[in-house]
């Protein structure tokens, strides 16, 4: 009886505690944090009298980047180039970003513009290089260190290994020559080059050109046997069976260079199945249970190859070959026409292997005023959380990153940084700030960046806490009018107002 009563009492206490927290969220702007969450215990004694938030009018951390990376052959040199698709005259933005003469098959990590590429050296010395984060201009920063992820990829002439990041950026798929069966197989490794796994390992086939499904569970690839190529896909860990999406070996045509759409429903590829033309771009659904006829989206007496999807799946970039001339083109697949637009100029002599990369971010910036009597410091030890007013009451903790001068673009999604005014800041009458210390009446400017969020999911509560117990909360909103009228922090995303 006593044991049962104790259990009932404990259960009642737990239920009451949960109820009180729920009620608090309903009736107050103050957020009560679960005391069992050790990483934010300091919020147990909330005190809004010592710190004050002052919104910043706008933020530079709200960005939309859309660039196409590709390799370009000029004479005996091959380099990685990029082109900006956000401007009216796209071809005016072509830039060579490697300049080594031996770089091919670029792949850019989703979310943070980390570049890897195939370094085409005398066989068998070729390798995959990781050159780290690209700058805001799409270039490799001077002096950037490189990391070798794999070596001895190619043993056959006229082959360039292709690679692709997984959607979450933690894995890389690529094709590599397998000495054991004298064929190419698709491998998957961790993004740092560890844990390499051959996921196809088929003795009769050359398996190349891997592309990930957007959920990261499958990899489509091109497989050649007997002189004909088909499109397959497999679980990304190599388990289970194969899905064969085309039947070129029996029908006598080739299907090459697959690219999975960002919504996961379609696979674009290049095929010579149509009469008169050499190769055209076509589409198939990604459903392996459906037998279907591909949808043709280009119609020209040339070779169209190497398709890749735009971020919103409305367009496809591809390589167009006319004799010895090659250029990149974009086609609008939503339109009813099969006409396309050339985007590269004579500067790009022979572009190949386009990789369409995009990054859209949200930003928040605000001033923190020390309105108390004591100074505080150790800013890098401060905690910064965002609690979103959505169905799950999602809470995000942001990671601190040291700010490099005034280059805010190096702040990545999920990170925050700070800046102290140098002197005579317009918000303060104090003379000169002491580096690393915020005295009474002084201000700290905080900047943070998040991955893109839908317009109806950009409101919530900022929770900000120092390591000596000073804590504040403040609402943030996606409503520009409310931001101006109520002095709330404004979350800006993409290139909107």
Domains of the chain: 31-61+360-493 (no CATH), 76-276 (2.120.10.30)
**Tell me, what's the pLDDT at 274?**
85
Do the beta carbons of residue 222 and residue 208 sit within 8 Å? yes
Q: Are 353 and 162 in contact (CB under 8 A)?
A: yes
Q: What is the mean pLDDT of the chain?
A: 80
Does residue 331 surpass a pLDDT of 80?
Answer: yes
pLDDT tier at 422, thresholds 50, 70, 90: low
Q: Span 246-255, mean pLDDT?
A: 86
Q: What percent of the chain has pLDDT over 70?
A: 82
**What value does the mean pLDDT take over residues 214-222?**
96
Residue 48's pLDDT band (boundaries 50, 70, 90)?
Answer: very low
pLDDT band per the 50, 70, 90 thresholds, residue 432 = low
Average pLDDT over residues 260-282: 90
Q: Quick check: 74 pLDDT over 90?
A: no
* Alpha carbon of residue 179 to chain centroid: 34
Return the minimum-mean-pLDDT range out of 3-7, 81-85, 414-418. 3-7
206-210, 376-380, 432-436: which range is least confident on average? 432-436
**Per-residue pLDDT tens over the stretch 141-156:** 888 889 999 998 887 7
Of 109-113, 196-200, 425-429, 454-458, the range with the lowest mean pLDDT is: 425-429
Q: In terms of pLDDT, which residue wins out, 21 or 224?
A: 224
Average pLDDT over residues 352-372: 86
pLDDT confidence of residue 202: 86
CA distance 406 to 418: 10
40 vs 151, residue with greater confidence: 151
pLDDT surpassing 80 at residue 18:
no
With vertex at residue 78, the alpha carbon angle to CA 106 and CA 83, rounded to the nearest 5 degrees, is: 50
pLDDT of residue 270: 95
Give the residue, 79 or 43, on which the prediction is more confident.
79
Q: What is the pTM of this model?
A: 0.76
- Higher pLDDT residue, 226 or 387? 387
If you write DSSP's letter for every residue of 341-380 in order, what string do you get? EE---TTSSSEEEEEEEEEEEEEEEEEEEE-SSS-EE-GG
* Amino acid 468: pLDDT: 61
174 pLDDT above the threshold of 90: yes
| Backbone dihedral region for residue 468 (phi beyond 0: left; psi -120 to 50: alpha; all else: beta) | alpha
pLDDT at 285: 95
The token pair that represents 236 in the structure block: 């990304």
Is pLDDT of 406 > 90? Answer: no
């Amino acid at each position: 009886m006593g044991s049962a009563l104790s259990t009932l009492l404990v259960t009642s206490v737990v239920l009451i505690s949960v109820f009180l927290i729920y009620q608090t969220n309903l009736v107050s702007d103050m957020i009560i944090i679960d005391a069992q969450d050790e990483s934010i215990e300091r919020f147990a004694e909330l005190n809004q009298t010592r710190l004050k938030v002052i919104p910043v009018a706008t933020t530079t951390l709200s960005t939309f980047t859309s660039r196409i990376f590709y390799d370009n052959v000029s004479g005996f040199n091959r380099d990685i180039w990029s082109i900006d698709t956000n401007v009216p005259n796209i071809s005016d933005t072509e830039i060579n970003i490697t300049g080594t003469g031996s770089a091919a098959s670029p792949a850019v990590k989703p979310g943070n513009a980390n570049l890897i590429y195939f370094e085409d050296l005398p066989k068998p010395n070729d390798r995959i290089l990781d050159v780290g984060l690209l700058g805001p201009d799409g270039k490799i920063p001077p002096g950037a260190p490189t990391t070798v992820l794999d070596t001895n990829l190619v043993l056959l002439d006229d082959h360039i290994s292709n690679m692709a990041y997984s959607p979450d950026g933690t894995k890389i798929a690529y094709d590599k020559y397998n000495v054991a069966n004298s064929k190419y197989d698709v491998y998957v490794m961790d993004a740092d080059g560890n844990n390499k796994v051959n996921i196809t390992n088929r003795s009769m086939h050359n398996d190349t050109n891997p592309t990930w499904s957007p959920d990261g569970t499958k990899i489509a690839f091109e497989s050649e046997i007997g002189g004909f190529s088909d499109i397959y896909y497999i679980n990304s860990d190599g388990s289970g069976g194969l899905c064969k999406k085309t039947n070129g070996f029996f029908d006598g045509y080739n299907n090459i260079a697959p690219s999975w759409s960002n919504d996961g429903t379609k696979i674009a590829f290049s095929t010579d199945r149509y009469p008169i033309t050499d190769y055209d771009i076509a589409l198939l659904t990604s459903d392996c249970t459906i037998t279907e006829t591909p949808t043709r989206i280009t119609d020209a007496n040339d070779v169209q190859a190497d398709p890749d999807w735009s971020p919103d799946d409305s367009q496809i970039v591809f390589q167009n070959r006319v004799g010895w001339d090659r250029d990149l083109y974009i086609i609008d697949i939503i339109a009813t026409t099969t006409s396309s637009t050339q985007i590269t100029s004579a500067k790009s002599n022979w572009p190949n292997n386009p990789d369409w990369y995009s990054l859209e971010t949200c930003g928040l910036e605000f001033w923190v005023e020390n309105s108390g009597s004591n100074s505080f410091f150790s800013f890098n030890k401060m905690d910064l959380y965002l609690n979103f007013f959505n169905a799950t009451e999602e809470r995000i903790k942001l990671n601190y990153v040291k700010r490099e001068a005034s280059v805010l673009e190096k702040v990545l999604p999920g990170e925050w940084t700070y800046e102290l005014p140098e002197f005579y800041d317009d918000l303060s009458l104090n003379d000169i700030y002491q580096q690393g210390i915020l005295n009474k009446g002084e201000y700290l400017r905080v900047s943070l960046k998040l991955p893109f969020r839908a317009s109806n999911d950009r409101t919530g509560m900022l929770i900000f806490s120092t390591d000596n117990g000073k804590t504040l909360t403040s609402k943030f909103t996606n409503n520009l009018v409310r931001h101006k009228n109520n002095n709330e922090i404004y979350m800006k995303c993409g290139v909107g107002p």
